[in-house]
């Protein structure tokens, strides 16, 4: 599994606290970094889930290495409650894996030219389908919402004018020119937010996260731990809201419940938020934007 550096591995293990005889879910298996570390930390079992068939294929070597303690399933982590029940911990490492990002043929990065794909599951609508079929308003909304890009309308117009757009280098050049010379003075590449937006849209990453957090709550045992590492503000806000809303007592079961309805009991005890160390950021620059949030499920 060379080339894959699991982000905030020490902090993830501290938050998850693996123990002998327990069962854990690595919902974003990727290169298997977290799953391997969990299995090495305790005599436990891990279910690894990934929608990318390449990740599942690579992981077979780890299945053999851990001799029955690691099971892999291809699918969305939002369906983890279909794959298992009553688990002691769930870990999610959101975003793109190093393998996906570093392989030009997958189309996630503008660092090397490749087909404009971005599909984690290798099926369904691709990024090329989106940029070549969506109207200006739809494309602008995608870039603005998921990329938090202030120049979304200008970028959308430039993409439509340049159609057909088929490669990552072509798209990066179109976006950079639409941004103008001033964007080149910024720390990040002018196309970064547009590529992020298309990837999130193509893979329904925020919908997947919302469903996945609910599924994790459903399968966690009392005292089970949920650990989530996110890489951009949209994900982090969702995770923060999910945990904090369930860590406090709600006044009623829902806003539709009658006045005087019993309060919903808290579901989580929050653990401290963590960020990567300066040493990790220096050795692995992709960790720089990572944030870890975690909670311990309370008894019902």
> CA–CA separation, 71 vs 51, rounded Å?
14
> CA–CA separation, 133 vs 145, rounded Å?
18
* Fold of domain 109-203: DNA polymerase; domain 1 (1.10.150)
Is the preceding omega at residue 122 within 30 degrees of 0, hence cis? no
pTM: 0.91
> CA–CA separation, 280 vs 277, rounded Å?
5
> CA–CA separation, 209 vs 220, rounded Å?
16
Q: pLDDT per position in the chain (300 positions), as tens?
A: 444 679 999 999 999 999 999 999 999 999 999 999 999 999 999 999 999 999 999 999 999 999 999 999 999 999 999 999 999 999 999 978 878 888 989 999 998 899 999 999 999 999 999 999 999 999 999 999 999 999 999 999 999 999 999 999 999 999 999 998 876 667 789 999 999 999 999 999 999 999 999 999 999 999 999 999 999 999 999 999 999 999 976 555 555 555 555 566 899 999 999 999 999 999 998 899 999 999 999 987
> CA–CA separation, 5 vs 8, rounded Å?
9
> Which residues have a Cβ under 8 Å from the Cβ of 298 and sit 6 or more positions away?
222, 265, 266, 267, 268, 269
- Looking at domain 9-93+205-297, which of 3.50.50.60, 3.40.50.11610, 3.30.470.20, 3.40.50.150 is its CATH number? 3.40.50.150
> Which residues have a Cβ under 8 Å from the Cβ of 27 and sit 6 or more positions away?
49, 77, 80, 90, 91, 92, 212, 216
Domain assignments of the chain as residue spans, ordered by start: 9-93+205-297, 109-203
């Amino acid at each position: 599994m060379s080339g894959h550096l699991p982000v905030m591995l020490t902090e993830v293990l501290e938050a998850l606290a693996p123990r002998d005889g327990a069962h854990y879910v690595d919902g974003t298996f990727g290169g298997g970094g977290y799953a391997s570390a969990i299995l090495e930390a305790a005599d436990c079992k891990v279910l690894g889930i990934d929608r990318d068939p390449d990740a599942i294929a690579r992981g077979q070597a780890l299945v053999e290495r851990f001799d029955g303690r690691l099971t892999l399933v291809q699918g969305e982590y939002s369906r983890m409650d279909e794959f298992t029940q009553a688990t002691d911990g769930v870990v999610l490492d959101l975003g793109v894996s190093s393998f996906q990002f570093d392989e030009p043929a997958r189309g996630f990065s503008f660092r090397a030219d490749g087909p404009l794909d971005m599909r984690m599951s290798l099926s369904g609508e691709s990024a090329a389908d989106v940029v070549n079929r969506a109207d200006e308003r739809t494309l602008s909304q995608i870039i603005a919402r998921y990329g938090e890009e202030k120049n979304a309308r200008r970028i959308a117009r430039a993409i439509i004018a340049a159609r057909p757009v088929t490669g990552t280098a072509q798209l990066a050049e179109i976006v950079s020119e639409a941004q103008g010379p001033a964007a080149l003075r910024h720390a990040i590449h002018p196309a970064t937010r547009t590529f992020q937006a298309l990837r999130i849209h193509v893979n329904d990453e925020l919908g997947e996260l919302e469903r996945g957090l609910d599924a994790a709550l459903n399968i966690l045992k009392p005292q089970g731990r949920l650990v989530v590492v996110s890489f951009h503000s949209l994900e982090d806000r969702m995770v923060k809201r999910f945990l904090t809303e369930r860590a406090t007592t709600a006044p009623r079961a829902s806003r539709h419940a009658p006045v005087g309805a019993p309060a919903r009991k808290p579901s989580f005890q929050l653990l401290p938020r963590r960020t990567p160390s300066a040493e990790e950021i220096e050795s692995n620059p992709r960790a720089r934007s990572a944030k870890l949030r975690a909670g311990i499920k309370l008894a019902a």
